[in-house]
């Protein structure tokens, strides 16, 4: 299985794909992301596991979820000059020791946009069924089957089915009673079947996105204040993104998180993405870079009481990225994320 995973990750990127037109459905694929935690840590998440929002970055990430998890995120209206908003929902279940599954929906809505003759409502939506497994200890693999819907506001609705594949390998070392270290390497490819969506009798290629990431994690447990909670947790990660059917949206991302007593998380990151200036270098930038930040709160009832429930809330509010050199004063993107995890005993 390990050899098969390595072969797939090395050979799939060499296949030939149709050309993705820069800017097409950019708001859905390359703007706000469904994970508030990822947004705060430089938008990197390909090597992270144990969270349902990882289905967007690497389907192998849900292999380590425990019990039943429900995850939702919402970005209120405020997308540039429209009433656009983002919404994400996911529900996952650990069927047994080797199999996890989840359903998720990521929706971007432009809201009512004024045009000549009235208003139009346009949206794009991705419905995803994810299957993930950990066939070998510390090696996770996953597959997404996505049903994509695009309603441009006029004309017929376009649909498409595309597939994602990913893998994460974790290396644990210096494991002690009160501390532990690990390094994880993750790789994924979205839309490896090179799917297209139709509009006005034209087939538009969807982006084929490859991600390669790594993270380092450390925890210290000195039994301070509360014996059942780890005293200190650290996560530092980096990621490289490349579109296999475009010369743009190449990105470098990095970020980290410090968690205190498994209750308060403080996050920060940085990213740089390659864009297109439309042949107007004096007006538009050919790359976008930004600092990111946010925080999270966790109520680990499963470790504080006999109730097997873990509640997490994440928040971030960041300036909207802009490729234009013309100054603008749009509202921040503010995103809320709520995660409920009901722990169940794993079926053997």
Domain ranges of the chain: 2-342
Q: What is the pLDDT of residue 238?
A: 97
- Distance of alpha carbon 128 from alpha carbon 191, whole angstroms: 12
Residue 87 has pLDDT above 80, yes or no: yes
Taking 80 as the threshold, does the pLDDT of residue 10 lie above it? no
pLDDT classification of 120: cutoffs 50, 70, 90: low
Q: What is the mean pLDDT of residues 230-236?
A: 94
Q: What is the pLDDT of residue 113?
A: 60
pLDDT attached to residue 114: 55
CATH T-level fold of 2-342:
Porin (2.40.160)
Q: Which of 34-43, 77-86, 165-174 has the lowest mean pLDDT?
A: 77-86
Q: What is the mean pLDDT of residues 27-55?
A: 93
pLDDT greater than 90 at residue 21: no
Nearest one of 342, 341, 339 to 37, comparing CA atoms: 339
Enter the tokens of residue 243. 């579109």
What is the predicted pLDDT for the residue at 156? 83
| DSSP secondary structure letter of residue 284 | B
Least confident piece of the model among 35-49, 152-166, 216-230, 274-288:
274-288
- 3-state class (DSSP) for residue 334: strand
What value does the mean pLDDT take over residues 8-28? 71
The predicted pLDDT at position 276 comes to: 82
Q: How far is residue 215's CA from residue 284's CA, in Å, rounded to a whole number?
A: 33
pLDDT digits (tens, 9 = 90+) for 291-307: 999 999 999 999 999 99
Mean pLDDT value across the chain: 88
Assess whether pLDDT exceeds 80 at residue 12.
no
Say what the pLDDT of residue 116 is: 44
Residue, of 111 and 337, whose pLDDT is higher: 337
For 134, phi then psi, to 5°, come to: -120, 75
pLDDT at 118: 52
Q: What are phi and psi of 4, to 5 degrees?
A: -60, -40
Per-residue DSSP letter, 326? S
The pLDDT score that the predictor gives to residue 281 is: 77
Q: Tell me how far apart the alpha carbons of residues 72 and 89 are, in angstroms, rounded to a whole number.
A: 4
């Amino acid at each position: 299985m390990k050899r098969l995973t390595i072969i797939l990750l090395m050979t799939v990127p060499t296949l030939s794909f149709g050309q993705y037109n820069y800017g097409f459905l950019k708001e859905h694929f390359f703007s706000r992301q469904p994970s508030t935690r990822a947004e705060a840590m430089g938008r990197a998440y390909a090597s992270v596991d144990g969270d349902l929002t990882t289905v967007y970055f690497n389907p192998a990430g849900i292999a380590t979820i425990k019990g039943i998890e429900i995850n939702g995120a919402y970005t209120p209206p405020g997308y540039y000059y429209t009433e656009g908003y983002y919404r994400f929902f996911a529900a996952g279940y650990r069927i047994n020791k080797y199999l996890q599954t989840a359903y998720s929906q990521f929706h971007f809505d432009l809201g009512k946009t004024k045009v000549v003759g009235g208003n139009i409502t346009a949206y794009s939506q991705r419905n995803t069924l994810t299957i993930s497994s950990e066939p070998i200890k510390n090696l996770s693999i996953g597959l997404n089957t996505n049903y994509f819907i695009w309603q441009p506001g006029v004309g017929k609705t376009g649909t498409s089915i595309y597939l994602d594949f990913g893998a994460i390998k974790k290396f644990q070392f210096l494991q002690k009673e009160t501390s532990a270290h690990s390094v994880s390497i993750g790789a994924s490819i979205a839309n490896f079947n090179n799917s297209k969506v139709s509009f006005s009798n034209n087939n538009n290629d969807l982006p084929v996105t490859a991600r390669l990431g790594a993270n380092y994690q450390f925890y210290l447990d000195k039994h301070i204040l509360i014996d059942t909670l780890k005293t200190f947790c650290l996560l530092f990660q980096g990621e490289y993104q490349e579109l296999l059917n475009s010369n743009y949206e190449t990105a470098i991302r990095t970020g980290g998180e410090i968690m205190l007593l498994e209750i308060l998380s403080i996050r920060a990151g940085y990213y740089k993405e390659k864009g297109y200036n439309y042949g107007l270098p004096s007006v538009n930038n050919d790359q976008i870079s930004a600092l990111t930040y946010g925080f999270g709160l966790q109520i680990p009832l499963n470790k504080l009481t006999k109730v097997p429930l873990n509640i997490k809330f994440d928040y971030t509010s960041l300036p909207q990225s802009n490729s234009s050199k013309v100054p603008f004063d749009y509202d921040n993107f503010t995103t809320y994320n709520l995660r409920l995890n009901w722990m169940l005993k794993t079926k053997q």
